[in-house]
Structure 1
């Protein structure tokens, strides 16, 4: 089990570093390698901090990210001009990784996604939970976090679907939504996403 968790933690951390390169490329025109190296150096420097410093960093970044994504997705949903038939047709034409799988449906994908989040989040949650004196506080915090994540994913998927005709070929769709609203908002969103990727990568590598 430890080997499997370590594999997934390392994999997610590497994906986060690669994703940071995509953000720098899409928003600022940097080469992907430069953005990834920048994030790698930043993560290594942060891992030299104490546990409380890392947890405090994550607790500051995540609420800002949640509010931004909620605002952007809500705006995108209510300002989508394409019809549902058009959006559905575009969505069906986009190839997916699971299109040729023997089992490919939304429920199976939801179970896999939830399982993946539990697997990669468990080590960091164990550290945070161990620092919490009250079991009731830890339980309620975990429940609220899970509900918040579920709501965020739900709204984000609706927002992306409502604008899927404008996001074909975009590596970072959420950043694409922000760019469609305002260039200034796109910059703010890119910084927030970079911070989110940064905090996630720090959490993954710290748990290793």
Structure 2
């Protein structure tokens, strides 16, 4: 039915984009480190990342709907063989709770710095909402992303577009000649960016194999990648207008939003918090769907349990957790990308479900 297909396409697109647009993306820090510092070449990097996000989203949804997967544990052996799949599976089982801990810590830090609330209150707020969403099962996760993800994207796009207009339009890219590339080039930086952002989307999207039809699922994977690239492109363009001053900000988008007025700084703070929330939900759902692929009571218990265990660990501190855990996301992501691309050449995936 056309209505069902349209709804599933939107659900997959929102879920894919929502898992990637976390605190780092919404703050502008990720975009600055991976794209803005390369000047004009950073825009080529965004283009490359958009192509990769779209292609990988397509492949994940193609494989998972063809195989009728309920979790990434069912998809990984198809992609990379049993031995490597087992290693990536165990790494993901550790990383998803790790990512959840980072998001809880990030919520505490943000609400403390931006609004003066106790750190523990910020941590508990995301924990409680995440548990409530998990209790609603897969439908709860999809509904939450359908509401919050468009809100995040529209706000980021509006802030960046208004900043670009206020500054006179397209930046003078020729002035961005000095690159702070830290030994990397823009191509490798783009690949790394996609790499460390693919573990959670794989875990989340691979749980949709039996609930989403193949055609809207594939379209959603492609559209989600395009949305990610388009939003990153707007942030990059706006960031180039404020470069190099933007490099002194821990939250670069605050520099951009400040050009629109003080109220936008508070709106942006709320936006980053929503980004943290949707990523926390994705981490908890990815873990719960791995432990309980069939859903039900075990899924809810696993999701609730991992959130409760993450709360005390969040006290380690946001910055320290990012330094330790995020490199692991990158290494696992490279294995995921390699598996997806090589499977494209190794297998014939039948259209539709058997």
Residue in 2 aligned with 1:148?
227
- Segment of structure 1 superposing worse, 153-162 or 141-150: 153-162
Residues matched between the structures, number = 198
Deviations 1:140-159 (CA, angstroms, capped at 9, x unpaired): 11100011111111221222
Question: How far apart, CA to CA, are the structure 2 residues paired with 1:182 and 1:116?
Answer: 34
The answer for unaligned runs of 5 or more in structure 2 is 1-87, 288-354
**Is residue 2:197 matched to residue 1:117?**
yes
- Evaluate the alpha carbon distance shift between residue 11 and residue 65 of structure 1 in structure 2; reply closer, same or farther with a 3 A threshold: same
Residue in 1 aligned with 2:35?
none
- Evaluate the alpha carbon distance shift between residue 129 and residue 154 of structure 1 in structure 2; reply closer, same or farther with a 3 A threshold: farther
**Is residue 2:157 matched to residue 1:70?**
yes
Question: How far apart, CA to CA, are the structure 2 residues paired with 1:110 and 1:8?
Answer: 22
Displacement of 1:129 after TM fit? 4.3
Residue in 2 aligned with 1:190?
269
**Is residue 2:195 matched to residue 1:108?**
no
Aligned with 1:193: secondary structure? helix
- Evaluate the alpha carbon distance shift between residue 169 and residue 15 of structure 1 in structure 2; reply closer, same or farther with a 3 A threshold: farther
Residue in 1 aligned with 2:236?
157
Q: TM-score, normalised by structure 2?
A: 0.50
The answer for unaligned runs of 5 or more in structure 1 is 93-97
Residue in 1 aligned with 2:91?
4
**Is residue 2:281 matched to residue 1:167?**
no
Matching residue within 121, 133, 140 for 1:53 = 140
Q: TM-score, normalised by structure 1?
A: 0.80
Question: How far apart, CA to CA, are the structure 2 residues paired with 1:116 and 1:16?
Answer: 16
Aligned with 2:136: secondary structure? coil
- Evaluate the alpha carbon distance shift between residue 56 and residue 163 of structure 1 in structure 2; reply closer, same or farther with a 3 A threshold: same
Deviations 1:60-110 (CA, angstroms, capped at 9, x unpaired): 111111111111112223334897677666x74xxxxx72x5xx1121121
CA contact (8 A) 1:87 1:162 kept: no
- Evaluate the alpha carbon distance shift between residue 171 and residue 29 of structure 1 in structure 2; reply closer, same or farther with a 3 A threshold: farther
**Is residue 2:117 matched to residue 1:30?**
yes
Aligned with 1:136: secondary structure? helix
Question: How far apart, CA to CA, are the structure 2 residues paired with 1:23 and 1:189?
Answer: 11
Question: How far apart, CA to CA, are the structure 2 residues paired with 1:198 and 1:175?
Answer: 19
CA contact (8 A) 2:257 2:268 kept: yes
Question: How far apart, CA to CA, are the structure 2 residues paired with 1:199 and 1:115?
Answer: 20
Cα RMSD over matched residues? Answer: 2.7
Higher alpha-carbon Rg: 2
CA contact (8 A) 1:23 1:172 kept: no
CA contact (8 A) 1:23 1:190 kept: yes
Residue in 1 aligned with 2:208?
128
